[in-house]
Amino acid sequence: MSQSAPLMVNGFDGSGLSGLPPQTQELIARREAALGGAYRLFYERPVEFVRGSGVYLYDPDGVAYLDAYNNVPSVGHSHPRVTEAVSRQLATLNTHTRYLTDGVVGYAERLLATHTIGPAHAMFTCTGSEANDLALRIARTSTGAAGVIVTENAYHGVTAAAAELSPSLGANVPLGVHVRTVPAPTAGSDFAAGVAAAIEDLRRHGLGVAAFLADSLFSSDGVLPDPAGFLAPVADLVRAAGGLYIADEVQSGFGRTGSHLWGYQRHPGLSPDIVTMGKPMGNGLPIAGIVARQSVLAEFGRTSRYFNTFGGNPVCVAAATAVLDVITDEGLQANSLETGRYLKDAISGLAADRPILADVRGAGLYLGVDVVSADTGEPSAELAAAIVNGMRDRHVLISATGPRGHVLKVRPPLPFARPQADHFLEALTDVLARLLLPITLEVRLFIGVGDAEATALAFGLQGQEFPRPMTYQFMASLVAAAGSAVRSVRVTRVADEIFYAQVTLRGGAVVDARPSDAINLAAVTGAPVLVASALLDRPTDPRVMRS
Ligand code: PMP
């Protein structure tokens, strides 16, 4: 990898703090003080939400954000049927799984009937991490081996055992000595060959193969669903080495891929030994679990005791049962397929004449779009971040993923339908229009160089130098078209009557400006303005914030 993986893709780095309303800045400071440094927020300018409904989230001012990112509320935020089922059960009984309750058994039977791995049992946990942890214990017991194979930028969870299987957590989170990574299944690569090499390496080190563990959509590796079928030979290799195939369906399960309820079912001939699932299972309530072949589970069941206090409790099972009902009754899997295709085709259409969008991949409502430099064709995490933040500024939520952080991750709740897809595409088109200008024109601002008329701009058109003085009016209209290039404007009082301004561009460059030009620029571009409280008696712009 020529570029190291960012610690967190689309993480808030503080750079956009000054552009946020004072109450948001205060909440961020309190959060950091209370929760500490390991937590991360999304976006250059983090968002606060107070309510969700369907495919929308609402900020404290009641502004609706279109959710094209969240797969946990997969049947829709605050779905009334889930809310009703949970409320009813909570008011009736909630207990652990050492008593007989009908709900957990009925749900397990329903869940098992959806899988295609032969006679199996279901076991419940609270999180996807716990599900992978449990699957690993079962695999080790069943095989007597220790080695585990995962992809180069896999993520499988937060427990100590799951973090050791999660290279995407970064270089500071060590992988287990029993873990081998294989290159992700990118187009044209020989994925099975990588797995064969890892198997051989584990064998030589005397570790043996307990399991191959993979997210069926390779989400953190950059969303790599195709060509369906490439996983079946991998399962054969792993089994021939004595190991198990564990399909991590935390991302790809519950109808996400549209064509099937489970991501592994997209791959003809693939029948995992253990399937782990989570996230969308309870539409936000903490329920996760595994489905494992009976033959694989037999030894573990004989020799181990399993009890997970909250795992599969009646309230979470009520949520999970309602989720299955809603997926069926509202045709959400079919919607995922149909809307996913529509969105993928439309984004491919946009990519056709926008050089910064390269490959568009996806299955159902899980899309990955490669973002690259128009000049070099190299992956560009910076441009991806600019698109993600540009969408956020237009109240549409997405994120980015992949080892180089350059893959747009579009993964809305499943009721996301045609009108929302059109809304999404409108926002994306606008973001790209504005972004493409600074990208292809490489804006360099020299504001406040002379008097009003003489304010100048130098442009390089796709690498070609065009040093040409322009009037402020012309500059303003150009910048208006490239508005999202401007991140924020800061005005500082140097002395009485003497002000000094700087314009921060998205790439991080800071440009000196005359205060009036800077404020005008902010007005044209919509960038937030920061001034020190003593500065302006009368803010010249209603959006000027005091700090
Ligand atoms: N596996 C995959 C593929 C995941 O994406 C995640 C969560 N992002 C997990 C496991 C862990 O799930 P949880 O956060 O519920 O522990």
With a cut of 90, say whether residue 150 has pLDDT above it: yes
With a cut of 80, say whether residue 536 has pLDDT above it: no
By DSSP bridging, strand 244-248 and strand 209-215 are parallel
pLDDT tens figures, 470-492: 334 434 444 544 444 556 656 55
Q: Model confidence at 534, in pLDDT bands (50, 70, 90)?
A: very low
Rounded to the nearest whole angstrom, what is the distance from the C-alpha of residue 43 to the centroid of ligand 1? Answer: 20
- Top pLDDT among 6 and 1 is at 6
- Top pLDDT among 225 and 386 is at 225
CA distances from 305 to 81, 261, 297, 301, 308 (A): 35, 30, 12, 7, 10
280 in contact with ligand 1, CB cutoff 6 A: no
- pLDDT, mean of residues 118-123: 98
Rounded to the nearest whole angstrom, what is the distance from the C-alpha of residue 279 to the centroid of ligand 1? Answer: 7
What's the confidence (pLDDT) of residue 5?
Answer: 44
With a cut of 80, say whether residue 249 has pLDDT above it: yes
Q: How many residues does the chain have?
A: 547
Rounded to the nearest whole angstrom, what is the distance from the C-alpha of residue 355 to the centroid of ligand 1? Answer: 33
- Top pLDDT among 524 and 2 is at 524
Pocket test of ligand 1: the residue of 224, 251, 257 to mutate, having most ligand atoms within 8 Å of its CB, is 251
Q: Whose CA is nearest to atom 10 of ligand 1?
A: 156
The Cα–Cα gap between 250 and 501 comes to: 48
Share of the chain above pLDDT 70, in %: 78
3-state secondary structure of 97: coil
Give residues with Cβ within 8 angstroms of 250, minimum separation 6. Answer: 128, 131, 132, 215, 276, 277, 278, 279, 288
pLDDT tens figures, 7-21: 688 999 887 787 788
263 in contact with ligand 1, CB cutoff 6 A: no
The Cα–Cα gap between 390 and 382 comes to: 12
Residue that the structure tokens 């600074």 belong to: 438
**Residue 318: closest CA among 54, 52, 81:** 81
With a cut of 50, say whether residue 467 has pLDDT above it: no
Q: Model confidence at 434, in pLDDT bands (50, 70, 90)?
A: confident
With a cut of 60, say whether residue 204 has pLDDT above it: yes
Q: Show the beta-strand stretches assigned E in 329-380.
A: 357-362, 367-371
Answer yes or no: are the C-beta atoms of 223 and 368 closer than 8 Å: yes
Which of 14-18, 379-383, 492-496 has the weakest average pLDDT?
A: 492-496
What's the confidence (pLDDT) of residue 413?
Answer: 98
The amino acid at 332: L
- pLDDT, mean of residues 248-253: 98
The Cα–Cα gap between 349 and 342 comes to: 10
With a cut of 90, say whether residue 215 has pLDDT above it: yes
What's the confidence (pLDDT) of residue 437?
Answer: 52
Which of 287-291, 311-315, 386-390, 414-418 has the weakest average pLDDT?
A: 386-390
517 in contact with ligand 1, CB cutoff 6 A: no
With a cut of 80, say whether residue 43 has pLDDT above it: yes
pLDDT tens figures, 18-32: 778 889 999 999 999
Which of 87-101, 274-288, 496-510 has the weakest average pLDDT?
A: 496-510
215 in contact with ligand 1, CB cutoff 6 A: yes
Across 79-83, 463-467, 516-520, the highest mean pLDDT is recorded for: 79-83
